[in-house]
């Protein structure tokens, strides 16, 4: 039995272990496949910013930090997943945290703010707005998967009650 013929789709030379359909990328549709041409991620429509980031990653093997800051949470998560699964960060000697310096900086700011709020509460400041700030910081850390739900619940039990 003869193997199925693949359509002549122009793909990127490589993105780690994956190929990106350049024609669909130009139309703002992300189509990432394994070298064996199996779909690696669900096909999705993406923003022009995401398209430009991926195009630049393929062409120059660098990430545009200015454009990274413009991605929404969904696309940033998608890009992180692509980078991790394709292992392009290993090839380029990047660490994921280095690829997203603003995200790392934001994480550090949130942890610093959390520590300040904890100190204020432990010092006896029971201002309701302080407790509200604590819950807001914990929610943001949880949303970005920087803390686990168990830690969130423990902090609420210890400081918000």
pLDDT digits (tens, 9 = 90+) for 41-63: 677 788 888 888 888 877 777 77
Q: Is the pLDDT of residue 27 over 80?
A: no
Q: What percent of the chain has pLDDT over 70?
A: 70
Of 29-38, 53-62, 88-97, 152-161, give the range with the top mean pLDDT. 152-161
Q: Is the pLDDT of residue 21 over 90?
A: no
CB contact burial 1-39 (16+ within 10 A = b; e otherwise): eeeeeeeeeebbeebbebbbbbebbeeeebbbbeeeeee
Task: Report the pLDDT value the prediction gives residue 117, as an integer from 0 to 100.
Answer: 92
Q: What is the DSSP letter of 100?
A: -
**pLDDT, averaged across the chain:** 75
123 versus 102: the higher-pLDDT residue is 123
The Cα–Cα gap between 62 and 38 comes to 25
Summarize the confidence of residues 122-128 as an average pLDDT: 88
What would the pLDDT profile of 61-72 be if each residue is shown by its tens digit? 777 777 877 888
Report the range of poorest mean pLDDT among 18-27, 94-103, 126-135. Answer: 94-103
Contact yes or no for 11/45 (Cβ under 8 A): no
SS3 111: helix
């Amino acid at each position: 039995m003869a193997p199925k013929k693949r359509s002549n789709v122009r793909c990127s030379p490589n993105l780690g272990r994956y190929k990106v359909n350049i024609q669909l990328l130009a139309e703002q549709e992300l189509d990432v496949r394994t070298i064996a041409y199996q779909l690696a991620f669900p096909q999705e429509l993406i923003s022009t910013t995401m398209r430009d980031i991926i195009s630049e990653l393929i062409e120059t093997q660098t990430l545009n930090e200015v454009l990274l800051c413009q991605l929404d949470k969904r696309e940033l998560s998608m890009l992180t997943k692509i980078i991790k699964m394709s292992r392009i960060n290993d090839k380029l000697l990047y660490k994921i945290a280095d690829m997203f310096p603003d995200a790392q900086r934001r994480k550090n700011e949130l942890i610093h703010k959390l520590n300040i709020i904890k100190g204020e509460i432990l010092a006896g400041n029971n201002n309701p707005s302080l407790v509200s700030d604590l819950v807001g910081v914990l929610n943001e850390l949880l949303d970005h998967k920087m803390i686990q739900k168990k830690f969130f619940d423990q902090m609420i039990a210890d400081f918000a009650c």
